[in-house]
Amino acid sequence: MINRVLLRIKIVQILYSYYKSAGKSLPVAEKELFHSIEKTYDLYYHLLQLSVEITRFASNRIETKRNRLRPTTEDLNPNTRFIDNSFISQLTKNVQFNEYLTAHKLSWVNYPEIIKELFEEIICTEFYSDYMNASTVDYAADKDIWRKIFKKVILQNENLDDSIQDQSIYWTDDIEMVVSFVIKTIKRFDLAKGEEQELLPMFKDQEDIDFASKLIRSVLTKGPALREMIDLNTKNWEIDRIAFMDIVIMEVALAELMDFPTIPVNVTLNEYIEIAKAYSTEKSGTFINGVLDNIVGQLKKENKLIKVVMFSDNKK
Protein backbone atom coordinates (compact mmCIF):
# COMPACT_ATOMS: atom_id res chain seq x y z
CA MET A 1 0.00 0.00 0.00
CA ILE A 2 2.69 2.50 1.01
CA ASN A 3 4.10 3.28 -2.43
CA ARG A 4 7.30 5.09 -3.27
CA VAL A 5 5.54 8.38 -3.89
CA LEU A 6 4.40 8.40 -0.28
CA LEU A 7 7.76 7.10 0.98
CA ARG A 8 9.54 10.04 -0.64
CA ILE A 9 7.10 12.50 0.92
CA LYS A 10 7.48 10.92 4.36
CA ILE A 11 11.28 11.02 4.11
CA VAL A 12 11.25 14.70 3.15
CA GLN A 13 8.91 15.49 6.07
CA ILE A 14 10.97 13.52 8.59
CA LEU A 15 14.24 15.11 7.43
CA TYR A 16 12.74 18.59 7.59
CA SER A 17 11.77 17.91 11.21
CA TYR A 18 15.16 16.29 11.88
CA TYR A 19 17.09 19.34 10.72
CA LYS A 20 14.84 21.69 12.69
CA SER A 21 15.26 19.71 15.93
CA ALA A 22 18.55 19.49 17.77
CA GLY A 23 19.83 16.28 19.30
CA LYS A 24 18.27 13.73 16.95
CA SER A 25 20.37 10.87 15.59
CA LEU A 26 20.16 8.79 12.43
CA PRO A 27 18.59 5.78 14.21
CA VAL A 28 16.01 8.10 15.78
CA ALA A 29 15.16 9.63 12.39
CA GLU A 30 14.81 6.21 10.79
CA LYS A 31 12.61 5.00 13.63
CA GLU A 32 10.47 8.11 13.29
CA LEU A 33 10.12 7.46 9.55
CA PHE A 34 8.80 3.94 9.98
CA HIS A 35 6.53 5.01 12.84
CA SER A 36 5.05 7.65 10.53
CA ILE A 37 4.50 5.00 7.85
CA GLU A 38 2.78 2.71 10.37
CA LYS A 39 0.46 5.55 11.38
CA THR A 40 -0.49 6.10 7.74
CA TYR A 41 -1.36 2.42 7.53
CA ASP A 42 -3.56 2.93 10.60
CA LEU A 43 -5.38 5.66 8.68
CA TYR A 44 -6.09 3.20 5.86
CA TYR A 45 -7.98 0.95 8.28
CA HIS A 46 -9.56 3.91 10.05
CA LEU A 47 -11.08 5.18 6.81
CA LEU A 48 -12.31 1.72 5.86
CA GLN A 49 -13.86 1.62 9.32
CA LEU A 50 -15.60 4.92 8.55
CA SER A 51 -17.74 3.22 5.91
CA VAL A 52 -18.92 0.67 8.47
CA GLU A 53 -19.72 3.39 11.01
CA ILE A 54 -21.70 5.46 8.49
CA THR A 55 -23.73 2.37 7.61
CA ARG A 56 -24.31 1.64 11.29
CA PHE A 57 -25.50 5.23 11.78
CA ALA A 58 -27.95 4.83 8.89
CA SER A 59 -29.26 1.58 10.39
CA ASN A 60 -29.73 3.18 13.82
CA ARG A 61 -31.62 6.07 12.25
CA ILE A 62 -34.02 3.66 10.57
CA GLU A 63 -34.64 1.87 13.89
CA THR A 64 -35.23 5.18 15.65
CA LYS A 65 -37.86 6.14 13.12
CA ARG A 66 -39.53 2.74 13.39
CA ASN A 67 -39.84 3.17 17.14
CA ARG A 68 -41.46 6.59 17.03
CA LEU A 69 -44.70 7.05 18.94
CA ARG A 70 -46.54 7.62 15.67
CA PRO A 71 -44.37 6.15 12.88
CA THR A 72 -45.35 6.89 9.31
CA THR A 73 -45.83 4.24 6.65
CA GLU A 74 -42.41 5.16 5.31
CA ASP A 75 -40.90 4.80 8.81
CA LEU A 76 -42.32 1.30 9.10
CA ASN A 77 -41.34 0.28 5.57
CA PRO A 78 -38.01 1.97 4.86
CA ASN A 79 -35.76 1.44 1.91
CA THR A 80 -32.93 -0.58 3.46
CA ARG A 81 -30.77 -0.91 0.36
CA PHE A 82 -28.01 1.31 1.77
CA ILE A 83 -27.71 -0.53 5.09
CA ASP A 84 -27.98 -3.92 3.36
CA ASN A 85 -25.00 -3.13 1.12
CA SER A 86 -23.20 -6.42 0.43
CA PHE A 87 -19.73 -4.85 0.27
CA ILE A 88 -20.14 -3.30 3.74
CA SER A 89 -21.53 -6.57 5.07
CA GLN A 90 -18.46 -8.39 3.77
CA LEU A 91 -16.06 -5.77 5.14
CA THR A 92 -17.75 -5.82 8.56
CA LYS A 93 -17.03 -9.56 8.85
CA ASN A 94 -13.50 -9.38 7.42
CA VAL A 95 -11.07 -11.20 9.70
CA GLN A 96 -7.99 -9.14 8.88
CA PHE A 97 -9.95 -5.90 9.22
CA ASN A 98 -11.38 -6.71 12.64
CA GLU A 99 -8.13 -8.06 14.04
CA TYR A 100 -6.29 -4.90 13.04
CA LEU A 101 -8.93 -2.56 14.50
CA THR A 102 -8.84 -4.46 17.78
CA ALA A 103 -5.06 -4.60 17.99
CA HIS A 104 -4.61 -0.91 17.19
CA LYS A 105 -7.68 0.35 19.09
CA LEU A 106 -9.04 2.37 16.19
CA SER A 107 -12.49 3.84 16.67
CA TRP A 108 -14.82 6.66 15.58
CA VAL A 109 -16.78 6.55 18.84
CA ASN A 110 -15.64 10.04 19.84
CA TYR A 111 -16.61 11.61 16.52
CA PRO A 112 -20.38 11.06 16.10
CA GLU A 113 -20.84 14.51 14.58
CA ILE A 114 -18.54 13.60 11.70
CA ILE A 115 -20.46 10.37 11.03
CA LYS A 116 -23.77 12.24 11.04
CA GLU A 117 -22.50 15.01 8.78
CA LEU A 118 -21.08 12.60 6.24
CA PHE A 119 -24.28 10.52 6.12
CA GLU A 120 -26.40 13.63 5.60
CA GLU A 121 -24.13 14.71 2.75
CA ILE A 122 -24.33 11.26 1.18
CA ILE A 123 -28.14 11.11 1.12
CA CYS A 124 -28.26 14.48 -0.64
CA THR A 125 -26.21 13.28 -3.60
CA GLU A 126 -27.64 12.28 -6.94
CA PHE A 127 -25.70 9.03 -7.04
CA TYR A 128 -27.21 7.98 -3.70
CA SER A 129 -30.71 8.68 -5.03
CA ASP A 130 -29.98 6.70 -8.19
CA TYR A 131 -28.67 3.78 -6.14
CA MET A 132 -31.63 3.73 -3.76
CA ASN A 133 -34.19 3.98 -6.56
CA ALA A 134 -32.62 1.57 -9.06
CA SER A 135 -34.84 -1.35 -10.04
CA THR A 136 -32.12 -3.79 -8.99
CA VAL A 137 -28.58 -3.63 -7.61
CA ASP A 138 -25.81 -6.17 -7.41
CA TYR A 139 -22.42 -6.56 -5.71
CA ALA A 140 -20.76 -4.33 -8.33
CA ALA A 141 -23.28 -1.55 -7.63
CA ASP A 142 -22.77 -1.98 -3.87
CA LYS A 143 -19.05 -1.45 -4.34
CA ASP A 144 -19.48 1.38 -6.82
CA ILE A 145 -21.53 3.56 -4.49
CA TRP A 146 -18.81 3.37 -1.85
CA ARG A 147 -16.13 4.29 -4.35
CA LYS A 148 -18.22 7.36 -5.16
CA ILE A 149 -18.80 8.14 -1.48
CA PHE A 150 -15.09 8.11 -0.74
CA LYS A 151 -14.19 10.16 -3.80
CA LYS A 152 -17.03 12.68 -3.84
CA VAL A 153 -18.03 13.02 -0.19
CA ILE A 154 -15.40 11.77 2.25
CA LEU A 155 -12.42 13.18 0.38
CA GLN A 156 -14.13 16.55 -0.06
CA ASN A 157 -15.32 17.06 3.53
CA GLU A 158 -13.25 19.75 5.27
CA ASN A 159 -14.48 18.90 8.76
CA LEU A 160 -13.38 15.31 8.30
CA ASP A 161 -9.98 16.51 7.09
CA ASP A 162 -9.65 18.70 10.19
CA SER A 163 -10.74 15.82 12.41
CA ILE A 164 -8.20 13.47 10.85
CA GLN A 165 -5.40 15.95 11.49
CA ASP A 166 -6.59 16.48 15.07
CA GLN A 167 -6.60 12.73 15.73
CA SER A 168 -2.96 12.30 14.71
CA ILE A 169 -0.20 14.66 13.65
CA TYR A 170 1.05 11.84 11.43
CA TRP A 171 -2.14 11.98 9.34
CA THR A 172 -1.68 15.56 8.17
CA ASP A 173 -1.87 15.66 4.35
CA ASP A 174 -2.31 11.86 4.14
CA ILE A 175 -6.02 11.61 3.51
CA GLU A 176 -6.03 12.11 -0.28
CA MET A 177 -3.53 9.36 -0.95
CA VAL A 178 -5.01 6.99 1.64
CA VAL A 179 -8.49 7.45 0.16
CA SER A 180 -7.00 6.34 -3.18
CA PHE A 181 -5.79 3.18 -1.42
CA VAL A 182 -9.25 2.62 0.04
CA ILE A 183 -10.83 2.97 -3.40
CA LYS A 184 -8.30 0.51 -4.78
CA THR A 185 -9.24 -1.89 -1.99
CA ILE A 186 -12.95 -1.63 -2.78
CA LYS A 187 -12.24 -2.44 -6.44
CA ARG A 188 -10.24 -5.51 -5.40
CA PHE A 189 -12.98 -6.94 -3.17
CA ASP A 190 -14.42 -10.24 -4.41
CA LEU A 191 -17.66 -11.53 -2.93
CA ALA A 192 -16.47 -15.12 -3.31
CA LYS A 193 -13.60 -14.48 -0.88
CA GLY A 194 -16.00 -13.64 1.93
CA GLU A 195 -14.47 -12.73 5.27
CA GLU A 196 -11.00 -13.87 4.13
CA GLN A 197 -10.65 -11.10 1.51
CA GLU A 198 -7.10 -9.75 1.77
CA LEU A 199 -6.62 -6.04 2.43
CA LEU A 200 -3.63 -4.11 1.16
CA PRO A 201 -0.34 -4.85 2.96
CA MET A 202 1.65 -2.02 4.51
CA PHE A 203 4.44 -2.48 1.95
CA LYS A 204 4.33 -4.15 -1.44
CA ASP A 205 7.59 -5.96 -0.74
CA GLN A 206 10.89 -5.89 1.13
CA GLU A 207 12.44 -3.84 -1.66
CA ASP A 208 10.30 -0.82 -0.77
CA ILE A 209 11.26 -1.14 2.90
CA ASP A 210 14.92 -1.24 1.90
CA PHE A 211 14.42 1.76 -0.38
CA ALA A 212 13.07 3.89 2.47
CA SER A 213 15.75 2.83 4.93
CA LYS A 214 18.62 3.29 2.47
CA LEU A 215 17.40 6.68 1.24
CA ILE A 216 17.04 8.33 4.63
CA ARG A 217 20.40 6.92 5.73
CA SER A 218 22.03 8.14 2.53
CA VAL A 219 20.83 11.70 3.07
CA LEU A 220 21.91 11.82 6.69
CA THR A 221 25.35 10.31 6.11
CA LYS A 222 26.12 12.38 3.01
CA GLY A 223 24.37 15.56 4.14
CA PRO A 224 27.41 17.92 4.06
CA ALA A 225 28.48 16.77 0.57
CA LEU A 226 24.94 17.08 -0.75
CA ARG A 227 24.57 20.54 0.76
CA GLU A 228 27.88 21.61 -0.82
CA MET A 229 26.63 20.60 -4.28
CA ILE A 230 23.47 22.60 -3.70
CA ASP A 231 25.42 25.63 -2.43
CA LEU A 232 27.71 25.62 -5.47
CA ASN A 233 24.71 25.63 -7.79
CA THR A 234 22.80 28.33 -5.93
CA LYS A 235 25.70 30.75 -5.45
CA ASN A 236 23.75 33.51 -7.18
CA TRP A 237 21.07 33.15 -4.52
CA GLU A 238 21.28 34.36 -0.95
CA ILE A 239 20.83 31.26 1.19
CA ASP A 240 18.21 33.02 3.33
CA ARG A 241 16.07 33.51 0.24
CA ILE A 242 15.93 29.80 -0.51
CA ALA A 243 13.08 28.01 1.26
CA PHE A 244 14.53 25.50 3.71
CA MET A 245 12.08 22.90 2.44
CA ASP A 246 13.60 23.33 -1.03
CA ILE A 247 17.04 22.49 0.34
CA VAL A 248 15.73 19.37 2.06
CA ILE A 249 13.91 18.24 -1.09
CA MET A 250 17.04 18.72 -3.18
CA GLU A 251 19.18 16.77 -0.71
CA VAL A 252 16.82 13.80 -0.84
CA ALA A 253 16.60 14.00 -4.62
CA LEU A 254 20.39 14.05 -4.99
CA ALA A 255 20.80 11.09 -2.64
CA GLU A 256 18.31 9.11 -4.71
CA LEU A 257 19.94 10.13 -7.99
CA MET A 258 23.36 9.00 -6.83
CA ASP A 259 22.58 5.91 -4.76
CA PHE A 260 19.79 4.21 -6.72
CA PRO A 261 21.19 3.33 -10.14
CA THR A 262 18.07 1.49 -11.33
CA ILE A 263 15.76 4.50 -10.87
CA PRO A 264 15.81 6.66 -14.03
CA VAL A 265 16.93 10.28 -13.64
CA ASN A 266 13.68 11.69 -15.05
CA VAL A 267 11.61 9.65 -12.58
CA THR A 268 13.54 11.03 -9.60
CA LEU A 269 13.46 14.61 -10.88
CA ASN A 270 9.73 14.51 -11.64
CA GLU A 271 8.89 13.01 -8.23
CA TYR A 272 10.71 15.69 -6.24
CA ILE A 273 9.53 18.55 -8.42
CA GLU A 274 5.95 17.44 -7.65
CA ILE A 275 6.75 17.25 -3.94
CA ALA A 276 8.14 20.80 -4.12
CA LYS A 277 4.96 22.06 -5.79
CA ALA A 278 2.83 20.49 -3.07
CA TYR A 279 4.92 21.18 0.04
CA SER A 280 6.99 24.28 -0.63
CA THR A 281 6.54 27.65 -2.33
CA GLU A 282 4.76 28.50 -5.57
CA LYS A 283 8.04 28.86 -7.47
CA SER A 284 9.86 25.94 -5.82
CA GLY A 285 9.12 23.41 -8.56
CA THR A 286 10.76 25.54 -11.24
CA PHE A 287 13.66 26.51 -8.98
CA ILE A 288 14.43 22.95 -7.90
CA ASN A 289 14.13 21.69 -11.47
CA GLY A 290 16.76 24.19 -12.62
CA VAL A 291 19.20 23.48 -9.80
CA LEU A 292 18.93 19.70 -10.03
CA ASP A 293 19.20 19.76 -13.81
CA ASN A 294 22.51 21.64 -13.53
CA ILE A 295 23.85 19.22 -10.92
CA VAL A 296 22.81 16.19 -12.98
CA GLY A 297 24.71 17.61 -15.96
CA GLN A 298 27.84 18.07 -13.85
CA LEU A 299 27.61 14.58 -12.34
CA LYS A 300 27.28 13.01 -15.78
CA LYS A 301 30.35 14.87 -17.05
CA GLU A 302 32.31 13.64 -14.04
CA ASN A 303 30.98 10.07 -14.48
CA LYS A 304 29.50 10.22 -11.00
CA LEU A 305 25.96 9.44 -12.10
CA ILE A 306 25.67 5.84 -13.24
CA LYS A 307 22.29 4.44 -14.19
CA VAL A 308 21.57 0.78 -14.92
CA VAL A 309 18.70 -0.21 -17.17
CA MET A 310 16.63 -2.97 -15.58
CA PHE A 311 14.05 -4.12 -18.12
CA SER A 312 12.36 -6.45 -15.64
CA ASP A 313 12.23 -3.88 -12.85
CA ASN A 314 9.17 -1.64 -12.70
CA LYS A 315 10.19 0.08 -9.50
CA LYS A 316 10.05 3.83 -9.42
pLDDT digit string, tens, across residues 1-12: 899 999 999 999
Confirm whether 40 is domain-assigned.
Answer: yes
Region 169-178 average pLDDT: 92
Q: Based on the fold, state whether residues 21 and 155 are members of the same structural domain.
A: yes
Average pLDDT, whole number, for the chain?
A: 93
pLDDT value at residue 315: 56
In the chain, the number of structural domains is 2
State the alpha helices, DSSP H only, in the chain: 4-20, 26-66, 73-76, 86-93, 95-104, 112-122, 126-133, 139-149, 158-167, 175-188, 206-221, 223-232, 244-259, 265-279, 284-301
pLDDT digit string, tens, across residues 1-40: 899 999 999 999 999 999 988 767 999 999 999 999 999 9
* 3-class DSSP string for 220-242: HHCHHHHHHHHHHCCCCCCHHHC
Q: Based on the fold, state whether residues 14 and 84 are members of the same structural domain.
A: yes
CATH number, domain of 283, equals: 1.10.940.10
The rounded distance, in Å, linking the Cα atoms of 45 and 3 is: 16
Residue 311 has pLDDT above 70, yes or no: no
Residue 146 has pLDDT above 90, yes or no: yes
Range of the domain at 108: 4-196
Confirm whether 203 is domain-assigned.
Answer: no
Under a CB-based contact definition with an 8 Å cutoff, are residues 106 and 49 in contact?
yes
106 or 235, which is more confident: 106
**Considering the entire predicted model, what is its pTM?**
0.92
Q: Based on the fold, state whether residues 28 and 97 are members of the same structural domain.
A: yes
pLDDT value at residue 240: 64
Q: Based on the fold, state whether residues 283 and 150 are members of the same structural domain.
A: no
Residue 185 has pLDDT above 50, yes or no: yes
Confirm whether 291 is domain-assigned.
Answer: yes
Residues 6+ apart with CB under 8 A from 184: 200
pLDDT digit string, tens, across residues 204-213: 999 999 999 9
The rounded distance, in Å, linking the Cα atoms of 99 and 76 is: 36
| Position 312 confidence tier, pLDDT thresholds 50, 70, 90 | very low
Confirm whether 217 is domain-assigned.
Answer: no
